[in-house]
Structure 1
Amino acid sequence: MGKGTAALLAATFLLASCSNSSESNNAVKELNNQPTAAAIQASATPSTPDKIVISASPSPQPTAIEKSDSGSLATPNNTNKASDGTSSTEIPILYHMNKNYDIIPNEAGTNKKIILLTFDDGPKDAAMINPLMDILDKHHAKAIFFVNGYRVKEHPELLELIHSRGGIIGNHSWDHIVLKDQPYAKVKQQLEDVQKIVKKVIGEAPHFFRPPHGAGGDVGKKVAAENSLLYMTWSVGSLDWEMKEKETGKTDKLIKNVSSQLHSGSNILMHELPWTVEGLETLLTTLEGKGYSFVDPRSIELKMR
């Protein structure tokens, strides 16, 4: 091989090596410039803030339709809205009040051996209210608490206590005066001032009215109707208001007084008194033993028949 040929071959080999080295370097550069898997993942995943707040209105829930003991369906047209301070539900309307102030089933087949429990002249004292409510809860009983406006003004927290524990609030006038001989304007003030203060304290006005001493007269009935209040007195008096603090055997007298007048639909008048609270457990147990149960006041129509 001549020197010229050898030199030509050497030059060709060197040129090929340089070209391969350049392509290799370019390939390395391209490889280094490719995004890593982590980088690709990061690019594909949008950044997420530390907290995500989603605001959305819940889907409307269907209206519950309950079935009463009589078998009739309770629809929005025959239910009362009921609030006990902790919840709000629909209560089927199963009963009405007659002119004797007894509680009567609306339909045949509905339990008629029931009793309405009521307590007047409060709210007075948490030391009486709490044990009274404990007893009612134990017997799964509801009661109307007919309150006086001046007492609510003095102790609104006691009204809140009754309401929060499931008591149904009734209107017993502001000053506990005999209303039947009072002028219309006076009676109107006595009732409507209670409506206002009760609504201010617990958020809803009473639906039941009982005149002090059972003496509302025509003017009391008129003003009650104007305020969509169900007017009532009672059909069974416990006579607890006639008992004295130092008198003995008050529980036995309470039970005897109630039992002697007891009948289906009895509307029992009691008071927020220490001896009534003391005898209430025995009284309710006795009544249940006679086959009676306790009506929820919210299941009563707000008009008399």
Structure 2
Amino acid sequence: MTLTNIVRTTGIALTLSLALTACGPGTESKTAGTKPSANQVEPGTPSPAPASSAAPQSPAPSPSANAQQATPAPSTEASQKTKYRINSNYDVVPVDASGEKKVVLLTFDDGPKEKAMLESMLGTLDKHKAKAIFFMNGTRIKQHPELAKLIHDRGQALGNHSWDHVDLKKENPDNLEHQIGDVVQILEEMTGSKPRFFRPPYGSGNDAVKAKAKAHQLIYMTWSNGSMDWEMSAKKNDPDKIVANVLEQLHPGSNILMHELPWTAEALDKLLTELEKKGYTFVDPAQITAES
């Protein structure tokens, strides 16, 4: 064999060897018939939701636990008190016709006067869980501001009874403002709240007096049951007669007029006891509204 033939034969053998090596098992195509790995996603397959990184949820409460949580707490709201108004006869009557009618309103005029007597009256009112209106004169408030404050601090109502206890029907408009407006002012300065009630001295009023009271947002009244305690004196008085006078005139809604007087203070416990025996209760002035 010539040298040329040997070289040609060797080249052919080398070419065949390289071709066979290129088609071996380790060179299988990854795009034809290849099964995806566990981390791969086939085209058109929805992506799985990512694992939550939040802390594990607590087990849902049992139905019995839910039922216990849904049970409302007992209501502690107190029922509202009946509202009352002053009618044209100056009786105290329920705004709602179905409200309690067997009631009385306790009132005391012409104070404040003397501490021991006043404390006796306040103690009796407390004993019977009764509230009253103390209609005061400006001159006496100025003389005894501590007594006016005592009445207020003990939870009783303060009323306006004019400055000088004069017949207001005879007063001119300027003095009418002084007689009513100045009492409103002094009580507000002393207690932080305005009085809500007005009673003219002697029960003497007219349209001008009523209009002035209304301008100061005061509920105007006289009375419908007079104890007649003002007809008595230090030398001649009878506490039992005061009780008898009130009981003789007693009717549902009685607006009882009394005064800060020693014999009235002495009669008060017996009077309130007799009223309670007859089934009457005492209207709290806070229940009285200007509604008609």
Whether 2:272 is the aligned partner of 1:284: answer yes
**Is the radius of gyration larger for structure 1 or structure 2?**
2
Q: CA deviation at 1:247?
A: 2.0
Q: Which has the higher strand share?
A: 1
Q: Partner of 1:118 in structure 2?
A: 107
- The reply to whether residue 67 of structure 1 matches residue 83 of structure 2 is no
Q: Secondary structure at the match of 2:289?
A: strand
Q: Which amino acid aligns with 1:100?
A: N
| From 109, 125, 128, the counterpart of 2:98 | 109
For 1:231 and 1:268, locate their aligned partners in 2 and report how far apart those are by CA, in whole Å.
Answer: 15
> How far, CA to CA, are the matches of 2:290 and 2:110 in structure 1?
22
Structure 1 equivalent of residue 60 of structure 2: none
Which whole-Å CA distance do the structure 1 matches of 2:83 and 2:244 have between them?
29
2:128 maps to a residue whose letter is H
Cα distance 1:108–1:218, how it changes in 2: closer, same or farther (>3 A)? Answer: closer
TM-score if structure 2 supplies the norm length?
A: 0.72
Distance in structure 2 (CA, Å) of the matches to 1:149 and 1:200: 13
Which amino acid in the other structure matches residue 79 of structure 2? K
Q: Which residue of 1 aligns with 2:170?
A: 181
Distance change in 2, residues 1:241/1:119 (3 Å): same
Preserved CA contact (<8 Å) 1:181 1:217: no
Give the alignment partner of residue 297 of structure 1, picking from 282, 285, 288. 285
Displacement after TM superposition at 1:97 (Å)? 1.1
Partners of 1:128 and 1:219 in 2: CA distance: 35
Hey, what's the Cα distance between the residues in 2 that align with 1:109 and 1:137?
A: 28
Q: Do 2:101 and 2:253's aligned partners in 1 also have CA atoms closer than 8 Å?
A: yes
Deviation string, structure 1 residues 160-205 (Cα, Å, up to 9, x no partner)? 1111111100000000000012112211111000000001111111
Structure 1 unaligned regions, length at least 5: 1-63, 69-91
The answer (yes or no) to whether the contact 1:145–1:168 under 8 Å persists in 2 is yes
Task: Report the counterpart of residue 54 of structure 2 in structure 1.
Answer: none
Q: Name the amino acid aligned to 2:182.
A: D
Letter in 1 for 2:157: I
- Following TM superposition, by how much is the alpha carbon of 1:105 offset from its aligned partner in structure 2, in angstroms? 1.1
Question: How much has 1:108 moved relative to structure 2?
Answer: 3.6
The answer as to 2:120 corresponding to 1:131 is yes
- Using the aligned pairs only, state the percent identity: 53
Contact 1:117 1:143 in 2 (8 A): yes
Instruction: Work out the CA distance in 2 between the residues paired with 1:94 and 1:65.
Output: 18
Per-residue deviation at 1:134?
A: 0.5
Aligned length in residues: 217
Find the aligned partners of 1:219 and 1:118 in 2 and give their Cα distance: 24
Which of 222, 231, 237 aligns to 1:242? It is 231
Structure 2 gap segments, 5+ residues each: 1-75
**3-state DSSP of counterpart to 1:186:** helix
One of 256, 264, 282 as aligned partner of 1:268: 256
Q: Kindly provide the amino acid, as one letter, of the partner of residue 184 in structure 2.
A: Q
Distance change in 2, residues 1:93/1:194 (3 Å): farther
After TM superposition, the structure 1 = structure 2 runs for residues 1-305 of structure 1, keeping only pairs within 5 Å, are 66-68=78-80, 92=81, 94-247=83-236, 250-303=238-291, 305=292
CA offset digits 1:48-78 (Å, max 9, x no partner)? xxxxxxxxxxxxxxxx95423xxxxxxxxxx
Alignment partner of 2:96: what SS?
Answer: coil
Cα deviation code 1:224-262 (max 9, x no counterpart) = 0101100000000000000121225x1221011111111
The separation in 2 between residues aligned to 1:263 and 1:93, in whole angstroms, is 19
- Quote the offset at 1:106 in angstroms: 1.7
Contact 1:114 1:295 in 2 (8 A): yes
After TM superposition, the runs of 4+ consecutive aligned structure 1 residues lying more than 6 A away are none
Matched AA of 1:246:
K
SS of corresponding position for 1:173: coil
Which secondary structure state, in structure 1, belongs to the residue aligned with residue 265 of structure 2?
helix
Tell me if the contact between 2:82 and 2:94 (Cα under 8 Å) persists in the aligned partners: no
